[in-house]
Amino acid sequence: MRLGVLVSGSGSNLQALIEQVHGRAATIAGVCSSNPEAFALERARRAGIDAAVFALAAHGGGSERRDAAMADWLDERGVELVVCAGFLGVLTTGFLERFPARVINLHPSLLPAFPGAHAIEDAYAAGVAETGVTVHLVDEVLDGGPVVAQTRVPVNYDESPEGLRSRIHAAEHRLLPAVVESVARGALDLDDIARKART
Ligand code: GRF
């Protein structure tokens, strides 16, 4: 299975995919970054993976045009599954229609709890006993879409939010590659998850 990975930042989850999935169950055919400064681009370069920047500013600020160009670029590389790994922003309907039930996102909470950009801090501040990590199908709602898989992470209030953050990231680096591998091997059926969510 050919993967496209969408990033905006450090790319530690891209690195986990490179180390655990790339060249095994699946091939990362391309990496798209919304941010020209993302360290994820350097990780792709070191792994010899095609990468390109799709910044909104370069597309007249329009996400429709940016997303259409990004979908074309991914199509040209035969991408069958799009993985958002720290990609900031909401993908347009036009983009999602190009890859029906084939765009997944990673989020650092047990969705639907704590959507948004500060999920780890929000969970810590709320005093919950556990939080976690979610992989979900992407729809037009930020951090919405049917859940594909989750991992629970207990919150320890003797520990700083930074400690929680590092345990959440460690859980992400296990869950995302495991989900991608299961989809690539046919053990996890994204169409079935999308169908069940519609009924
Ligand atoms: C991860 O915590 C992911 O859940 C969130 O953004 C972060 C990306 O980290 N959507 P990295 O760029 O993969 O290191």
Q: 68-103 pLDDT, tens per residue?
A: 999 999 999 999 999 999 999 899 999 999 999 999
Residues of the chain with pLDDT under 70: none
Per-residue pLDDT, 62: 82
Output the CA angle 148-149-152, nearest 5 degrees. Answer: 150
Give the pairing of strands 130-137 and 147-154.
antiparallel
The alpha carbon of 3 is separated from its chain's Cα centroid by a whole number of angstroms, namely: 12
* Cα of 35 from ligand 1 centre, angstroms: 14
**C-alpha closest to that of 179 among 74, 105, 128, 116:** 105
22, 59, 107, 136: which one is catalytic? 107
Could you report how far apart the first and last alpha carbons of the chain are, in Å? 28
Quote the pLDDT of residue 188: 98
Known active-site residue 136:
no
Ligand 1 contact, 9 CB (< 6 A) = yes
Q: What is the pLDDT of residue 89?
A: 87
Find out whether the beta carbon of 143 lies less than 6 Å from any atom of ligand 1: no
CA of 168 to the centre of ligand 1 (A): 10
Taking CA atoms only, the protein residue closest to ligand 1 atom 12 is 11
Q: What is the pTM of this model?
A: 0.97
pLDDT number for residue 182: 98
Q: Evaluate: CB of 85 within 6 angstroms of ligand 1.
A: yes
Q: What's the 85 CA to ligand 1 centre distance in angstroms?
A: 6
